[in-house]
Amino acid sequence: MNHQSCDLCGRELLAQSELRYEVKIEVKAAYDPLNFIEHDLAQNVRAEIAKLIQQLQGISEEEAQNEVYRQFEFDLCGVCQRRYVREPLPRWAS
Q: What tens digit of pLDDT does each residue of 41-86 get?
A: 566 777 878 888 888 898 998 888 888 899 999 999 999 999 999 9
The reported pLDDT for the residue numbered 31 is 75
Residue 79 lies in a domain: yes
Q: The pTM is what?
A: 0.67
Residue 64 lies in a domain: yes
Q: State the CB neighbour count (10 A cutoff) for residue 74.
A: 16
Residue 2 lies in a domain: no
Q: How far is CA 90 from the centre of its chain?
A: 16
Residue 62 lies in a domain: yes
Q: How many domains does the chain have?
A: 1
CB 23 within 8 A of CB 73: yes
Task: Kindly give, in sequence order, each residue whose CB lies less than 8 Å from that of residue 75, ignoring residues fewer than 6 positions away.
Answer: 1, 2, 3, 4, 5, 6, 7, 13, 20, 21, 22, 23
Residue 48 lies in a domain: yes
Residue 6 lies in a domain: no
Q: Which domain holds residue 41?
A: 21-93
Task: Kindly give, in sequence order, each residue whose CB lies less than 8 Å from that of residue 1, ignoring residues fewer than 6 positions away.
Answer: 7, 22, 73, 74, 75
Residue 12 lies in a domain: no
Residue 30 lies in a domain: yes
